[in-house]
Structure 1
Amino acid sequence: MIIKMYFDIRKARVEDIDRLVEVINVAYRNQFGRSWTTEKDYVKGARISKQQLISDLNNKNFELYIAQFEEKIIACIGLTLMCEFVEIGTFAIDPDLQNLGIGHRMLSFAEKYIRDTYTDVLNINLYVLSVRKELIEYYERRGFNRTGVVDDYPITAEVGIPLIPVSLVERTKKIR
């Protein structure tokens, strides 16, 4: 059975912060519901704090878009302008609502928005934990290719502590 959810996408606002922190941390660090994107077995601790999100939202090169269903925030995707590319991050779907096409639609929205808004941008980049094979395969199906760039996990960024050796692998998608 296919379930189709209709939701609105809009730019995040200050009053969204508490719910966004909850959605992001639950999506990245917990395992329940329909979740398949969790990092629970690989990284412990919060993915983001309220202060980190406030700081991100105050960054002029960062935009955060949310999916809202019946007044409830159910997903988000962050875009950071980096000269010739935009980096996608802070991409989270409420675990109870995963596998319903929300992530697909959010990523499609982000790609179109970047293409239409940032006319000088050539690529969209993102990073994935090296051990997240199923997520890497998902992004490959969406046209994100390996760049060969592998970075150490950013322990000093206060985005969690690895439980096993992990790194970040960069993926890229040409949009022009």
Structure 2
Amino acid sequence: MDTAPPRDEARLTYRDATDADVDALVELIESAYRGESSRAGWTTEADILRGQRTDPDGVRDVITADGSRLLAVEREGELIACCQLEDRGEAAYFGMFAVRPGLQGGGLGRRIIAEAERVARASWGVSEMHMTVISVRDDLIAWYERRGYRRTGKMTPFPYGDERFGLPQRDDLQFELLVKELV
């Protein structure tokens, strides 16, 4: 069996995002989740939420907050993905995960989340990774379950009325906590 990494994996670089990356990160995140461009990938939220997914202030807050990192993932100098990591004591929080829509479905996300888990363990010595996912996103939750995350049934309300998080197209949105033990 060939144990060499896939060719694309060898070309990926991970770095902490900086203030200079904010506009490109907002564009990436928006393209992966909202609007017509998001339909090129499978992670779109366009049918359940309209409006923005994030904004420059939100991205900048993640970059500058204590105990927080926004990993920028590049291939040959091009920003193709990102994810947020936040130290929460025993656990790290994983969020703001975006992969350029045309690159989704080829294993890139799986490699990035594995690297994010490795970085969280190495940086903070955490034993768990936490994330929240909109509970009606069955395909996305199933994808995370295949990566070892488990549903907890713990729900938090969607911030209806706060347009910074989008314009809901249905009234049953809430976030479910998913958890993975990091060993």
Q: What TM-score do the two structures reach when normalised by structure 1?
A: 0.91
Q: State which drifts further: 131-140 or 148-157.
A: 148-157
Partners of 2:51 and 2:163 within 8 A in 1: no
Shift of 1:147: 1.3
Shift of 1:51: 1.5
Give the unaligned 5+ runs of structure 1.
none
Work out the CA distance in 2 between the residues paired with 1:144 and 1:38. Answer: 20
- 1:65-84 to 2 correspondence within 5 Å? 65-84=71-90
Work out the CA distance in 2 between the residues paired with 1:15 and 1:8. Answer: 17
- Which of 34, 38, 44 does residue 38 from structure 1 map onto? 44
- Which of 110, 119, 127 does residue 116 from structure 2 map onto? 110
- 1:24-173 to 2 correspondence within 5 Å? 24-32=29-37, 34-119=40-125, 121-155=126-160, 156=162, 158-164=164-170, 165-173=172-180
**One-letter code aligned to 2:106:** L
Partners of 1:125 and 1:170 within 8 A in 2: yes
2:53 is paired with a residue whose SS is coil
Q: State which drifts further: 150-159 or 38-47.
A: 150-159
Shift of 1:97: 1.0
**1:107-159 per-position Cα deviation (integer Å, ceiling 9, x unaligned):** 0001111122212x221011111111011101111110111201111233721
1:154 is paired with a residue whose SS is coil
Change (3 A) 1:77 1:104: same
Change (3 A) 1:104 1:31: farther
CA RMSD for the aligned pairs? 1.7
The total of aligned residue pairs comes to 173
**One-letter code aligned to 2:177:** E
